[in-house]
């Protein structure tokens, strides 16, 4: 078991302590779960103004070489070859049974592809990339970079005060810029459902940049607690909970991340792990689906709760759940069999030996406000 003495620290660790953060272990790091304002206040501030998140625990990886795009298409179902420069896409590493090894972001830069992978998976992801495509391209972890996310309706306006060019970026645009004297790489993206930017910054400049951003009245530091409730309201999956090696992209309703060129009939159809399973499901459908789950009362329905029909037959399971401050109600997501996946279907969640009435909904509980 990892102790507090073996937990890793991000470059913002001292700043978090200075700001009064409550620190917790997460993915091998000691990270802030909340600041003195509290999770609800941090959540609502991000929805109304701008929240600053330390996501430096995420893995940043450079993949380069003449065959890098073709190599990456051997490990993801995404169209990498046609990805324009300075554009970013969501992608999935899949296994031979169609399960999801990790979800990630891929950005084509002038000299390489930048991958941002989940913290808990970055060691296994690096090993997998080296094994699967290391002979075709150069793979280099960017351990000297930190990652900040500035999210919320005021986020881009704030960032643009330091780098005016950010204002003209659209959702999933990316590019290099100077922020507070640091050479950064910025994408207009995030994990909250709100407009915003993610900033790859040299580790030794991260704390200074964070301080500069926190000087703006609109910006509040945000911890893991609000990060989780924000993504859950927005219907965004958390790896290891809502998606994992037992779920396929089709079951997870992530089929939109598989472009036509990689599907049957496309110019570069298949060729990725689990292609037969995934492409069959794209055509015939899957036996279960990820859905939103709305409790019909005020009691929250949390991860692991069994979902049953009126006869008590198991029809699914909750994978994430909690209280949504923006909607002032419990929110959850999970998987149900295809027969119960229609919006409006009433089922039951078993919580502490009692059954709570719930309704199947879209996984998206708040409008996603990206700058398309």
> How many angstroms separate the Cα of 202 from the Cα of each of 150, 180, 188, 236?
16, 12, 18, 28
pLDDT in tens, 256-290: 999 999 999 999 999 999 999 999 999 999 999 99
Contact 311, 263 (CB under 8 A): no
pLDDT in tens, 155-182: 999 999 999 999 999 999 999 999 999 9
CA distance 267 to 15: 50
pLDDT category of residue 1 using cuts at 50, 70 and 90: very low
Q: Strand 329-337 and strand 346-351: pairing?
A: unpaired
> What is the pTM (predicted TM-score) of this model?
0.96
pLDDT category of residue 145 using cuts at 50, 70 and 90: very high
pLDDT in tens, 291-343: 999 999 999 999 999 999 999 999 999 999 999 999 999 999 999 999 999 99
Burial of 26-36, coded b for 16+ CB within 10 Å and e otherwise, reads bbebbbbbbbe
Paired strand residues for 200: 147, 185
Domains of the chain: 13-53+144-233 (3.30.1360.120), 287-365 (2.40.30.110)
Provide the pLDDT for residue 2. Answer: 44
Average the pLDDT over 141-164 and give the result.
Answer: 98
Residue 342: Cβ-neighbour burial (10 angstroms; 0-12, 13-18, 19+): exposed
CA distance 283 to 34: 44
pLDDT tops 80 at residue 355:
yes
pLDDT tops 50 at residue 13:
yes
Number of residues in the chain = 372
Starting at the earlier edge strand, list the strands of the sheet with 196-202. Answer: 174-179, 182-187, 196-202, 145-151, 50-54, 219-222
Contact 361, 291 (CB under 8 A): yes
Listed residue (213, 226, 218) closest to 154, CA to CA: 218
pLDDT in tens, 202-250: 999 999 999 999 999 999 999 999 999 999 999 999 999 999 999 999 9
Average the pLDDT over 100-120 and give the result.
Answer: 98
> How many angstroms separate the Cα of 286 from the Cα of each of 98, 281, 368?
12, 5, 26
Provide the pLDDT for residue 353. Answer: 85
Q: To the nearest whole number, what is the mean pLDDT of the chain?
A: 97
CA distance 172 to 333: 25
């Amino acid at each position: 078991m990892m102790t507090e003495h073996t937990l890793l620290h991000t470059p913002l660790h001292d700043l978090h302590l200075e700001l009064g953060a409550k620190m917790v272990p997460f993915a091998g790091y000691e990270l802030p779960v909340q600041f003195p304002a509290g999770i609800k206040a941090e959540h609502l501030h991000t929805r109304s103004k701008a929240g600053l998140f330390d996501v430096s625990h995420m893995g940043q990886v450079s993949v380069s070489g003449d065959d890098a795009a073709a190599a990456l298409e051997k490990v993801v179902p995404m169209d990498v070859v046609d990805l324009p420069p300075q554009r970013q896409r969501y992608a999935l590493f899949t296994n031979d049974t169609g399960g999801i090894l990790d979800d990630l972001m891929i950005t084509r830069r002038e000299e390489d592809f930048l991958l941002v992978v989940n913290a808990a998976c970055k060691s296994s992801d690096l090993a997998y990339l080296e094994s699967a495509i290391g002979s075709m391209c150069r793979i280099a972890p960017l351990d000297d970079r930190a990652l900040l996310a500035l999210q919320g309706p005021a986020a881009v306006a704030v960032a643009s005060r330091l780098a005016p060019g950010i204002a003209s970026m659209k959702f999933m645009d990316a590019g290099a810029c100077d922020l507070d004297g640091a050479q950064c790489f910025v994408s207009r993206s995030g994990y909250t459902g709100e407009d915003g930017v993610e900033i790859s910054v040299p580790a030794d400049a991260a704390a200074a940049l964070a301080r500069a951003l926190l000087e703006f009245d609109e910006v509040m530091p945000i911890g893991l607690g609000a990060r989780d409730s924000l993504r859950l309201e927005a219907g965004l999956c958390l790896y290891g909970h809502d998606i994992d090696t037992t779920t396929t992209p089709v079951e997870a309703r992530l089929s939109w991340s598989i472009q036509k060129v990689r599907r049957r009939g496309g110019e570069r159809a298949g060729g990725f792990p689990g292609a037969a399973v995934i492409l069959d499901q794209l055509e015939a459908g899957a036996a279960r689906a990820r859905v939103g789950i709305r409790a019909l009362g005020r009691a929250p329905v949390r991860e692991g709760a069994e979902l049953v029909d009126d006869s008590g037959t198991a029809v699914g399971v909750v994978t994430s759940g909690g209280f949504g401050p923006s909607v002032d109600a419990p929110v959850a997501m999970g998987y149900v069999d295809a027969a119960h996946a229609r919006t409006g279907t009433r089922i039951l969640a078993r919580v502490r030996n009692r059954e709570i009435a719930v309704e199947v909904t879209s996984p998206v509980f708040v409008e996603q406000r990206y700058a398309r």
